[in-house]
Amino acid sequence: MKKTTRRNFILGSVGVFGLGGAGLWFGKNSILRFLISFVSADTSALTEAPAIGGPDCVLTASQTEGPFFIASPMRADIREDREGKELKLRMQVVDPEGCVPVAGAVVELWHCDAEGRYSGYPEELAHDPFGSLMFAGTGSDHIKPVTDKRYLRGAQKTDAEGNVEFTTIFPGWYEPRSPHIHFKILTDDRSRLASQFYFDPELCKKVFTSQQPYTKYGDSPYNPSNDIVMSETPEAKGLMLRPKWNENGPIEVSARIGIKKV
């Protein structure tokens, strides 16, 4: 199937509602979800992030920063008052040529809560695809935050071995994205990489159908194969996280991030 770009998807969807009557307007969210199901992404390019301590070092693929980045406070535990399945994410920043650790890099991390809400932005849009489309547009241009909330956002500097560790919760899902975590790497106050981590849909289903408060919305209809950002990404090397399920404790996973030399 031919891949659909975000711009074409939005323009086409808006055109449909512009031509429709009242019935089409009131059913806009269910129609948008139906249209989104036709977005197709090549997931063969989505490879697993190398684990810290393993032999592999790759140049991590970049993806759009998205509209909801806010410079984060320096902290390791970013949960604040958010409830959800605890996730411990260890990251190591390296130069893939020689797998040399990058010390002193700033790692920014941000994602939605268990109900799909981003801090700093209108929380009611998480499961309103039309409202999200109208608010975020193409999703590539930064949008100024509208509230002072900053949950599930944090930054740390890498240690001598290039490592940081965040304590957070497993991200929920929102319209119209596959569950994901945003991250950004900076050195010398320069952005070196912006990208996003994805998860195995089977793990997402396990979390979303068995854990509170994820069960409020249940399993996500979106996964990397119909994700709009993935549909526009020529490759996604090193962006899949495959943590093991832990019934009685936090989900833990590590990821080695490769960035280009300055």
**What is the structure's pLDDT at 34?**
67
CB 161 within 8 A of CB 256: no
- The pair of structure tokens assigned to 36 is 């989104």
As a whole number of angstroms, the distance between CA 102 and CA 205 comes to 35
- The pair of structure tokens assigned to 81 is 């008052």
**What is the structure's pLDDT at 132?**
81
CB 256 within 8 A of CB 92: yes
**CATH number listed for the domain at residues 42-258:** 2.60.130.10
Q: What is the pTM of this model?
A: 0.89
**What is the structure's pLDDT at 107?**
98
Q: How many residues does the chain have?
A: 262
As a whole number of angstroms, the distance between CA 137 and CA 121 comes to 14
3-state secondary structure the chain: CCCCCHHHHHHHHHHHHHHCCHHHHHCHHHHHHHHHCCCCCCHHHEEECCCCCCCCCCCCCCCCCCCCCCCCCECCECCCCCCCCEEEEEEEEEECCCCEECCCCEEEEECCCCCCCCCCCCHHHCCCHHHHHHHHCCCCCCCCCCCCCCCCEEEEECCCCCEEEEEEECCCCECCECCEEEEEEEECCEEEEEEEEEECHHHHHHHHHHCCCHHHCCCCCCCHHHCHHHHCCCCEEEEEECCCCCCCCCEEEEEEEECCCC
Residues 6+ apart with CB under 8 A from 178: 198, 220, 222, 223, 224, 226, 227, 230
**What is the structure's pLDDT at 246?**
95
As a whole number of angstroms, the distance between CA 7 and CA 16 comes to 14
pLDDT by position in tens, the chain (length 262) = 444 454 455 545 555 555 454 444 445 667 677 666 667 788 888 999 999 999 999 999 999 999 999 999 999 999 999 999 999 999 999 999 999 999 999 999 999 999 999 999 999 999 988 788 778 765 668 999 999 999 999 999 999 999 999 999 999 999 889 999 999 999 998 999 999 999 999 999 999 999 999 999 999 999 999 888 888 887 899 999 999 999 999 999 999 999 987 6
Residue ranges of domains in the chain: 42-258
